[in-house]
Structure 1
Amino acid sequence: MDDGFASIEELKRRVTVASVLQCRLMRMVMENKRTVLDVFEEGRGGLNGVLGERLGTWLLRAVPHRSIVGHSYTLHIPPGQEDFRCGREWGEIVGRVTSNTMGTKYTISEVSGANAWHEVCIVTYDINFMGKKGPRKMTATIRAVDKTGRAIEPLQPLSKQNKAPNAVVLESKSPQWNSETRAFGLEFYNRVLVSSVKNFQLVHPEDVDYIVVQFGKVAEGVFTMDARFPMSPIMAFGVAVSAMDHKLACP
């Protein structure tokens, strides 16, 4: 990705094994009062924030849509000049995140053709009986990739193949109780500054030291998101969006 906007192919491509995608998420309130989520890749030039800080390359925008059966978000590339001329505040749609009514299951999909959707990740949350005092437990199921980085396709939609051999299941890393702060906590290596039930790290159960996705709060409306192989920018952003969404069963 260069100092310009990333291509759709780059947003779908898995992060390379030797790199880490470090991003900043911003909750933005538009003129029409709709709240959107923007994600920027850090360290790549790009746009300035309200306070003059460098936000980096603008990657994606999540636009919320409400319904009686659950929440959904469409994922868009940044608006281009033609979009601005037409009064649009986001560009072409490249993905979506949909939830069930209780907010315990989210499906992340990519656009794969004209009016066609391709499931790439399923995120599930356990019901949190401890409310805001306890950590959330979540899993993310994604398609496995071969040695070339190409996704191994299941014969059926991913949501029906969670235990398939060609799927990878990631789990939230279990926080440890800190008696001094009287809170659960993880080591975020100075990337997260504010305690929040939404903060998480996704790991493979067989290697809990390899953090695939890390997400956490920095300030009001500001978050960091770091992703590694085998996640793609769209997948990682979709998981972060699911964490920020309101959940009836997971305070």
Structure 2
Amino acid sequence: MAMKCIARLRSRRVVQDHLLRASNEAAVGGGCCWANLPQELLWEVLLRIEDSESSWPQRKNVVACAGVCRSWRIIIKQIVKVPQLSGKLTFPISVKQPGPKDSLLQCFIKRNRSTQTYYLYLGLTNSLLDVGKFLLAARKCRRPTCTDYIISLQAEDISKGSNAYVGRLRSNFLGTKFTVFDGQPPHTGAKIAKSRSSRLPNLKQVSPRVPSGSYPMAHISYELNTLGSRGPRRMHCSMNTIPATSIGPGGLASTQAEFSLNNVNPSQSIPIFHSKSASLENFLSGPLSYQKNGRLVLTNKAPRWHEQLQCWCLNFHGRVTVASVKNFQLVASPEDGPAGPEHEKIILQFGKVGKDLFTMDYQYPISAFQAFAICLSSFDTKIACE
């Protein structure tokens, strides 16, 4: 009798699981009524929605259409162009893709001193006081030998073990050299660097579906500023994943299509950093020799002396209103030969407009995530450079 009851319960559970799976496949895989619309009609409807919703917050309708079912999502992905071509940030993956080619994408950063957190917003208007569209958040974590900035897609969940984890920024002991780590491989065969910080207490356990590794994608160096507090800091940014040819005619920068949720192969790794700061110091300083290795290198645009103000100035075209050593404009450094017109174009500019409010404008070939990480490196006090 007991065996019959167990068999009946098992058969009922199998039937329930089968029905639940079938209903989910129908809703997600194209079995719902909305997915049965003629493809030509559906294409025209979604194309008109994409054309009409050119900015946030109205652009959330495009994202909503992508969530109806699988067929709608496939069409939306085909219609929506990458930021490099459209100049629009639509889906979360847009923050990992290169910005527009012909104009600076205007963003701003808000700082919360009490919680040591930073929030990146896309500017919705030309005003410096608008609400903005939230893009990324970062939290500062001080350690005995370095400083970490954990970058996340969610403002409420900023941790390396979160599904929203995007990457991190790590400094050396003096805060003069930084490395930007991506949470997923920027290209096939990328090397993963494991840090002991992921095993420290008070950090969430990494989900099996989230890549637990960190891929070095950029190196930032601050040098001695001969102008002192009267001029911007001297910076060099070596972009590991962007070739120097990307800024030239016909040049291309790598574009990630989606966030990866595959497990990371632990065999693909470089030596783990232990408690000694020397290993981390060597890693952070090694790639900063700036040899002619084909990588894109960003450097400060030289300031000009303003006779009336009696100070060194940069033209931010009204986007910066407060003088600060943190303010900077980055341009591409010529690899060989004289600088051309492409080396005069500002790729990233960052500046202060209030006590805890800063503007961040960027364009191709860097992404919002890369620009945000570079700007975060400017917040640390650098006694050795000033």
Length-normalised TM-score, structure 2: 0.54
Q: Does 1:73 align with 2:149?
A: yes
Note the residue ranges of structure 2 that are not aligned, 5 or more in a row.
1-54, 61-88, 185-209, 256-269, 271-282, 334-338
The code of the aligned residue for 1:94 comes to V
Q: Does 1:221 align with 2:356?
A: yes
Shift of residue 235, structure 1, vs aligned partner: 0.5
- Aligned with 1:120: secondary structure? strand
Higher helix proportion, which one? Answer: 2
Which of the residues 89, 92, 100 maps onto 2:172?
100
Q: Is the 8 A contact 1:104 1:127 kept in 2?
A: no
Count of aligned pairs between the two proteins: 230
Q: Is the 8 A contact 2:119 2:155 kept in 1?
A: no
Once structures 1 and 2 are overlaid, which stretch shifts more, 135-144 or 187-196?
135-144
Q: Is the 8 A contact 1:175 1:184 kept in 2?
A: yes
Q: Which residue of 1 aligns with 2:287?
A: 160
Superposed, 1:51-62 pairs within 5 Å as 53-62=129-138
Give CA deviations for 1:43-96 in whole Å, capped at 9, x if unaligned: 27xxxx9xxx4221101111000012121100111247xx5xxxxxx9722111
Superposed, 1:128-147 pairs within 5 Å as 128=225, 130-142=227-239, 143-145=241-243, 147=251
Q: Does 1:43 align with 2:147?
A: no
- Aligned with 1:116: secondary structure? coil
Q: Does 1:180 align with 2:308?
A: yes
Which of the residues 97, 109, 115 maps onto 1:34?
115
Give CA deviations for 1:210-244 in whole Å, capped at 9, x if unaligned: 00000001111111010011110010000110011
Q: Is the 8 A contact 1:62 1:76 kept in 2?
A: yes
Q: Please give the alpha-carbon distance, in whole angstroms, between the structure 1 residues aligned to 2:292 and 2:212.
A: 27
Q: Is the 8 A contact 2:236 2:297 kept in 1?
A: yes
The code of the aligned residue for 1:127 comes to L
Q: Please give the alpha-carbon distance, in whole angstroms, between the structure 1 residues aligned to 2:148 and 2:108.
A: 21
Q: Which residue of 1 aligns with 2:224?
A: 127
Give CA deviations for 1:3-39 in whole Å, capped at 9, x if unaligned: 359644211111132342210111124xxx3121111
Length-normalised TM-score, structure 1: 0.81
RMSD: 2.8
Shift of residue 208, structure 1, vs aligned partner: 4.2
Answer 1 or 2: higher relative contact order, Cα 8 Å, separation at least 6: 1
Q: Which residue of 2 aligns with 1:86?
A: none
CA distance change for structure 1 residues 6 and 59 in 2, over 3 Å: closer, same or farther?
farther
Shift of residue 136, structure 1, vs aligned partner: 1.1
Shift of residue 134, structure 1, vs aligned partner: 3.5
The code of the aligned residue for 1:38 comes to Y
Q: Which residue of 1 aligns with 2:385?
A: 250
Q: Please give the alpha-carbon distance, in whole angstroms, between the structure 1 residues aligned to 2:374 and 2:354.
A: 19
Q: Please give the alpha-carbon distance, in whole angstroms, between the structure 2 residues aligned to 1:192 and 1:233.
A: 19
Shift of residue 123, structure 1, vs aligned partner: 0.8
Q: Is the 8 A contact 1:132 1:197 kept in 2?
A: yes
The code of the aligned residue for 2:171 comes to S
Which of the residues 13, 16, 33 maps onto 2:97?
13
Superposed, 1:86-97 pairs within 5 Å as 92-97=164-169
Q: Which residue of 2 aligns with 1:114?
A: 211
Note the residue ranges of structure 1 that are not aligned, 5 or more in a row.
84-89
Q: What is the identity percentage for the equivalent residue pairs of Structure 1 and Structure 2?
A: 29
Q: Please give the alpha-carbon distance, in whole angstroms, between the structure 2 residues aligned to 1:6 and 1:119.
A: 26
CA distance change for structure 1 residues 21 and 209 in 2, over 3 Å: closer, same or farther?
same
